[in-house]
Amino acid sequence: MSNLKELIKQNHDWARRLESENPGFFERLANQQQPEYLWIGCADSRVPATQIADMLPGEIFVHRNIANVVVHTDLNCLSVIQFAVEVLRVKHIIVCGHYDCGGVKASLQAPSLGLIENWLHHIRDIYQMHSADFRDLQTEQEKVDLLCRLNVREQVLHTCQTTIVQQAWQRGQSLAVHGLIYRIQDGLLEDLDLHVSNLESLQQLLPNP
Ligand code: CO
């Protein structure tokens, strides 16, 4: 209970500080949100979207789950994407992975975690698809790093393939999907050079049939 009291006190101090630095901040925010970004990231407590982008409440719409996975039939994630694209009309969707992701690491090991393994199988699928790329890697760390990057790429593709993003592009809405990865050790984002802003640029990313 005492921990929660401390948390609430911290919140009150934070709100007072923010309001004194930006008078009227919360009142303006209460009227509307106009974020330009949708962030799809890992639930990991060390990767808080708004903080690591050095933004304020109201600037990033956020969806987080274990290992930043965009599953074609995940109504939760799809609802977030639809609301962000069609109602908030965000300009950018950022799929952000991170190195040393516990979900990615676990998916390289034998299943032992129960229910969550059903979720991690989405990442195992990516490993299977790219298994040739892992053959020459010597260390576990290299394998985890590569799978973290490939996972971002795959989830960027899944995001682009949703009916929501496809239809936005078809009606000419300005919308770009980006893949980034975050390094917990130094707090820096890395651009994975995955930027898709229309149906043509998506074709270039897709594997040849
Ligand atoms: Co993670």
Q: What is the 3-state secondary structure (H, E, C) of 68-133?
A: CCCCCCCHHHHHHHHHHHHHCCCCEEEEEEECCCHHHHHHCCCCCCCCHHHHHHHHHHHHHHCHHH
Q: Is 46 a catalytic residue?
A: yes
pLDDT digits (tens, 9 = 90+) for 160-195: 999 999 999 999 999 999 999 999 999 999 999 999
- Rounded to an integer, what distance in angstroms lies between the CA atom of residue 43 and that of residue 41? 7
Q: Which domains does the chain have, with CATH numbers?
A: 1-31 (no CATH), 33-205 (3.40.1050.10)
Annotated catalytic, 44? yes
At 30, which amino acid appears? A
Which pLDDT score is estimated for 114? Answer: 92
pLDDT of 209: 61
**Ligand 1 centroid – CA 103 distance (Å):** 6
CA dihedral 8, 10, 15, 19 (to 10 degrees): 150
Predicted local confidence at residue 3, as pLDDT = 85
Å from CA of 148 to ligand 1 middle: 9
Q: How far, in Å, from the CA of 67 to the mean position of ligand 1?
A: 4
Tell me if residue 171 is catalytic: no
Q: What whole-number distance in Å separates Cα of residue 198 and Cα of residue 164?
A: 13
Tell how strand 176-183 and strand 37-42 pair up: unpaired
98 is catalytic: yes
Radius of gyration in angstroms for the set of CA atoms belonging to the chain, rounded to a whole number: 19
Instruction: Quote the pLDDT of residue 32.
Output: 87
pLDDT at 1: 53
Among 77, 92, 96, 101, the active-site one is: 101
pTM of the model: 0.95
Q: Which residues surround ligand 1, an ion (CB under 5 A)?
A: 42, 44, 101
124 included as an active-site residue: no
In 3-state terms, what secondary structure has residue 195?
Answer: strand
pLDDT value of residue 82: 98
Catalytic residue among 63, 77, 92, 98: 98
- In the chain (209 residues long), the average pLDDT of successive 10-residue segments reads 88 97 95 95 98 96 98 97 98 98 96 92 97 96 98 98 98 98 98 96 81
Cβ(122)–Cβ(71) under 8 Å? yes
Q: Which of 28, 46, 72, 121 is catalytic?
A: 46
